């Protein structure tokens, strides 16, 4: 009985596959057609590329990539009215920044500023277009100095670089700079280049100690736990992960670590001083934070 049931199920499964195969019509576009069209597009042979993609679009009218490449090829041939239809289809079926800027360009060329701005506005909500790309685009040159276009550039910039618009990511900016670090007694402890990188999301420390130790740290505000995190590594094989945040205007971060074989809490407090210097005060605790001992005390002064 089980064998008959299994045979029946297999038969039904194969029948289902057969039905699906019969109900999925082939467009007629071959792999060779796609490859040839892609080669022409990559070579910027716009006339032949347009001809090749026109054949694909005829067989696959809703193919967003084929519509985009056909429209883009026509745009480069200055056949703007023809390009419009295909770029509109590409953006409607696949709204993304690449399709958006091409469509905005053809709207600009066909003197439809309102629609161009609508597309650029939408681009800022789906990933954004790099501001330097918008500013450099010749088709947008007549609008470059206008307030509305500048606002669109700003919105796209924020979409591309979301950390710029978040005040939490700017809480530790007072540490950015080129520094010489000294002890309160005036002894040089080292130098540090602290940079803002990766779309203004990361504060990157490059430390060179006077005793020969070099290290680096990545500092970032985590939007998930709403805390600052520092990952420190150095040329002695040390790895330490600090977590914390602003406390009364000071950046206070703490790590669970091992020092001299003992479980230790390591705390660093960064304070912006009135003259623009930054104090980095390190403390250790071996009793879960009940008492703290000074580990180091450095004043960062900007290099002249």
Answer for the pair 39, 52: CB distance below 8 angstroms, yes or no.
no
Q: Is residue 2 part of a domain?
A: no
Answer for the pair 257, 239: CB distance below 8 angstroms, yes or no.
no
Pair 98, 176 in one domain = no
| Segment 187-227, tens digit of pLDDT | 999 999 999 999 899 999 999 999 888 999 999 999 999 99
How much is the average pLDDT of 42-61?
98
Report for 18-27, 168-177, 254-263: range of highest mean pLDDT? 168-177
Any idea which residue has 């429209």 for tokens?
A: 71
| Segment 65-96, tens digit of pLDDT | 999 999 999 999 999 999 999 999 999 999 99
Where is the domain boundary, 130, 165, 200?
Answer: 165
Q: Is residue 92 part of a domain?
A: yes
Pair 179, 144 in one domain = no
- Give the pLDDT confidence score for residue 25 in this predicted structure: 55
- Which of 125, 68, 121, 77 lies closest to 98, judged by CA? 68
Identify which has the larger pLDDT, 162 or 106: 106
DSSP sequence for 34-100? HHHHHHHHHTT-HHHHHHHHHHHHHH-TT-HHHHHHHHHHHHHTT-HHHHHHHHHHHHHHS--HHHH
- Has residue 22 got a pLDDT over 80? no
pTM over 0.85: no
Residues 139, 142, 147, 151, Cα dihedral to 10°: 10
Q: Which domain holds residue 217?
A: 168-302
Q: Is residue 64 part of a domain?
A: yes
DSSP sequence for 112-147? -HHHHHHHHHHHTTTT---HHHHHH-GGGGGGTTSH
SS3 260: coil
Pair 147, 204 in one domain = no
- Give the pLDDT confidence score for residue 11 in this predicted structure: 43
Pair 291, 239 in one domain = yes
Structure token digits, residue 112: 């439809």
Cβ atoms < 10 Å from Cβ of 245: 18
């Amino acid at each position: 009985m089980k064998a008959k049931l299994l045979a029946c199920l297999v038969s039904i499964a194969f029948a289902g596959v057969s039905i699906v195969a019969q109900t999925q019509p082939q467009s007629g576009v071959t792999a060779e057609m796609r490859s040839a069209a892609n080669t022409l597009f990559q070579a910027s042979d716009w006339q032949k590329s347009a001809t090749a993609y026109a054949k694909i679009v005829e067989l696959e009218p809703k193919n967003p990539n084929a519509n985009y490449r056909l429209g883009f090829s026509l745009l480069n041939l200055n056949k703007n009215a023809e390009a419009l239809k295909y770029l509109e289809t590409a953006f409607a079926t696949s709204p993304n920044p690449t399709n958006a800027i091409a469509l905005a360009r053809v709207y600009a060329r066909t003197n439809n500023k309102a629609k161009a701005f609508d597309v650029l506005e939408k681009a800022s909500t789906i990933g954004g277009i790099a501001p330097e790309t918008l500013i450099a685009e010749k088709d947008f040159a007549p609008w470059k100095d206008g307030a509305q276009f500048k606002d669109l550039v700003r919105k796209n910039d924020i979409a591309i670089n979301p950390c710029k618009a978040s005040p939490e990511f700017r809480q530790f900016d007072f540490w950015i700079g080129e520094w010489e670090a000294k002890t309160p007694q005036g002894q040089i402890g080292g130098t540090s280049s602290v940079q803002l990188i990766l779309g203004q999301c990361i504060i990157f420390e490059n430390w060179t100690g006077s005793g020969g130790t070099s290290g680096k740290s990545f500092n970032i505000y985590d939007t998930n736990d709403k805390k600052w995190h520092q990952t420190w590594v150095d040329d002695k094989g040390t790895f330490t992960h600090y977590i914390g945040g602003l406390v009364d205007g000071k950046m206070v971060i703490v790590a669970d670590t091992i020092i001299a074989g003992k479980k230790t809490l390591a705390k660093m407090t960064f304070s912006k001083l009135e003259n623009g210097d930054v104090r980095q005060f390190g403390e250790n605790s071996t009793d879960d934070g009940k008492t703290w001992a000074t580990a180091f005390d450095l004043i960062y002064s900007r290099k002249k």
